[in-house]
A and B are shown apart, each in its own frame.
Chain A
Amino acid sequence: RKEVEQDPGPFNVPEGATVAFNCTYSNSASQSFFWYRQDCRKEPKLLMSVYSSGNEDGRFTAQLNRASQYISLLIRDSKLSDSATYLCVVEDTGRRALTFGSGTRLQVQP
């Protein structure tokens, strides 16, 4: 079983749609959680950290459920520029080893 599992997609949505991605992780020692974004043939970049209480950054909302070892990302009012692969990332902070999911591809269509 993979340490971090994501639905690879692709998710094809129209502009303005709301889309949600889910991610599950297996290592209960994971202490920090992130969503990274990777554009085609580009390097990953941090989108947002995920906090236990849930957090929002503009159109993006992240949620964490430690009991179920589940992380989610909600994107509201999708833009064409949101088209990318979204990587779920968990970290055993002491070992500084970020474990990346394989990513969920989002394609926002006009």
Chain B
Amino acid sequence: EAGVTQSPTHLIKTRGQQATLRCSPISGHTSVYWYQQALGLGLQFLLWYDEGEERNRGNFPPRFSGRQFPNYSSELNVNALELEDSALYLCASSLGRGAYTGELFFGEGSRLTVL
């Protein structure tokens, strides 16, 4: 069974540009989460999507946004890139409401470098 897949693996952008990261959850999982892991820092919660809707967002500016598609895959968009946005972006998925166990399954991440 395929795990959580993310693309691209690496992305290089310049300041002011926009980045789009993609995530496909494990089959059967309806919840998708996005986390940022900057160098030397812990995982910071960005967004939670479930059943196509944004359910919760972390303490990040509005230029971080995303969406979840009917097939439960998800996109994270980062507008007006800043140097400090350089980080590993991890997507995770889980079972949805009613079946949630607390376990998140992570993808291998997309490494964004902003020059």
A34 touching B102 by the CB < 8 A rule?
yes
The size bracket of the interface on A is 20 to 34
- The interface residues of chain A lying within 8 Å CB-to-CB of B109 are 43
> Is B55 an interface position by the 8 A CB rule?
yes
In contact, A43 and B107 (Cβ under 8 angstroms): yes
Categorize the interface residue count of chain B. Answer: 20 to 34
- Tell me, rounded to whole Å, the shortest Cβ–Cβ distance linking B105 to chain A: 8
Interface of A (DSSP majority class) = strand
Contact B41 A43 (CB under 8 A): no
Given contacts A98-B45, A102-B41, is CB(A43)–CB(B58) below 8 Å?
Answer: no
Measured CA separation A46–B31 after assembly (Å): 17
Contact indicator A100/B43 (Cβ below 8 Å): yes
Which of B42, B102, B107, B109 gathers most chain A CB within 10 Å? B42
Chain B 79-115 residues near chain A, CB threshold 8 A: 90, 100, 102-104, 106-109
Contacts known (A32-B102, A46-B103, A49-B102); A99 close to B45, Cβ less than 8 A? yes
The residues of B that contact A87 with a CB separation of less than 8 Å are 42-43
Sample of 8 more A-B contacts, CB < 8 Å, known A49-B103, A87-B43, A96-B48:
A34-B102, A34-B103, A43-B90, A95-B56, A96-B56, A97-B48, A101-B42, A102-B41
List residues of chain B with CB under 8 Å of any chain A CB: 31, 33, 35, 41-45, 48, 50, 55-56, 58, 90, 100, 102-104, 106-109
